[in-house]
Amino acid sequence: MPSIKINGITTIQSHPSNTILETLERAELEPEYNCRDGHCGACRCTLISGEVEYVGFAMAYTQEKEILPCICRAKSDIEVKDVKYTLKERRA
Ligand code: FES
């Protein structure tokens, strides 16, 4: 399972059938998103290293090195930065 290093702070394991956005959510993070379909760009972040594969069509504008985690999966160990997320609130 490829690993995903996020913002130089934390590393999580990706599940091959999950998008990067879903993987973040399964790791108890709350990433920013809106459409979950490659349209809005809310989830946009920067790929520092590694390879991703797109499972949807990217309609939102991305600059070189930017990816849309809602429609791509990690193909290898990857490192991303500029990921906007908060930690999930734990409920008792
Ligand atoms: S959530 Fe809209 S492009 Fe990813």
pLDDT 10s digits, 42-89: 999 999 999 999 999 999 999 999 999 999 999 999 999 999 999 887
For residue 92, the model assigns a pLDDT of 66
* 22: three-class secondary structure by DSSP: helix
Residue 83 identity: V
C-beta 31 within 6 A of ligand 1: no
Q: Is the pLDDT of residue 90 over 80?
A: no
For residue 65, the model assigns a pLDDT of 96
Which ligand 1 atom sits closest to the C-alpha of 60?
3
C-beta 12 within 6 A of ligand 1: no
Q: Is the pTM of this model over 0.75?
A: yes
Q: Kindly give the pairing relationship between strand 3-6 and strand 78-81.
A: parallel
C-beta 85 within 6 A of ligand 1: no
